[in-house]
Amino acid sequence: MPVDPVALTADLVRCPSVTPTEGGALVLLEHLLGDAGFDCTRVDRGGVPNLFARWGRQGANRSFGFNGHTDVVPVGNEDDWSVLPFGAEIKDGYLYGRGSTDMKSGVAAFAAAAIDFVIDTPPDGAVILAITGDEEGDALHGTTALLDWMARNGEAMAVCLVGEPTCPDVMGEAMKIGRRGSVTLWLTMRGVQGHAAYPHRANNPIPAMARLVDRLSSHELDKGTAHFDPSTLAVVTFDTGNTATNVIPASCRATVNVRFNEAHSSQSVVDWIGAEAGKIAEEYDVDLDIKVKVSGESFLTPPGDLSDLVAAAVKAETGVTPVLSTSGGTSDARFVKDHCPVVEFGLVGKTMHQVDERVAVDQIIQLKAIYKRILTDYFS
């Protein structure tokens, strides 16, 4: 009997798997996939739950992989919800609940498609599901742990599809063939505290930081590339923590986040900001401290066999030809791209992370059909 992806989505939503809590979601999937003949292994690391499942021969030349996550962001103020956040209530054609869009419906759709496919038409190859419980968190021990374990144990995906939501408004309108990189820098400038009435006895770090923030914000990083929009820099904080009106503060802090295309690397961005900050710190005679976090490098899977395969299946099931996009934030595809060619396709993500997050029931059914067609076409 075919696996119902809507019922499976509802079962997963009822699992309160707020990062990094497993919440029962991976246990549910392990039982379901194991009963269907998949070899399942829990690859937990650093307190993070992960699940690897393979149907077919280990090391098969043709192996199609799916990647996704069952962890979700916090619900926020539960009183703002019109339904129970983990109730999986269906009304007016929508299934409500935290994670319904991002991305338990995607996991349910590819799990259901994979089970039905290997039962209906057992392929000459392998179908692999790599599912993490740590995508919404630090992502240090999620998909990276799965890929590390696969490398140690002779497991490999020839290609991979990440089931994140990719469509802005209409089902089928976009797929991701790459992502921008992301780097965050915490900048601190330290001067000398003093009385506001005697500024010559102090060294105010605020003008120095203001000059730096203006210089960074005014700079055009690039004009975009063939597959990417222009890189962006956003100043997300600027503060001193000073509440007194008659005190020049000793330090000033700012945080900037840069989303960059393949014209840059995280190191080139850090080097540029560091050089600009260093020049201003020297000019204003303030001390400078910089802390850096790289969330991911920019990457691109060039249009070709994999994107053509996915696009054809999407067109066949929806009548829509997806645009090849690199927009949005980071995803776990940034880790998978070092293992094998990877693209992303999923449903409409308009309500992800919002109060009353919800997914159209017919989209879940459609998504399973797309994923099953992809598997059929890949192994045919």
**Which residues belong to the active site?**
71, 135
Angstrom distance (rounded) from CA 71 to CA 316: 31
DSSP state of 168: S
Angstrom distance (rounded) from CA 358 to CA 102: 9
Distance of CA 8 to CAs 2, 30, 274, 368, Å?
12, 13, 49, 11
**Which strand (E) or helix (H) includes residue 287?**
strand 287-296
Write out the DSSP string of 207-232. Answer: HHHHHHHHHHHH-------SSSPPPE
**Which strand (E) or helix (H) includes residue 33?**
helix 25-35
Angle between helices 361-379 and 5-13 (to 10 degrees): 120
Count Cβ atoms below 10 Å from residue 120 Cβ, excluding itself.
Answer: 10
Task: Give every CB contact of residue 14 below 8 A, 6+ residues apart in sequence.
Answer: 86, 87, 88, 97
User: What number of helices (H) and strands (E) belong to the chain?
Assistant: 9, 19
Contact 9, 87 (CB under 8 A): no
For the sheet with 94-96, list strands across it. 90-91, 94-96, 358-360
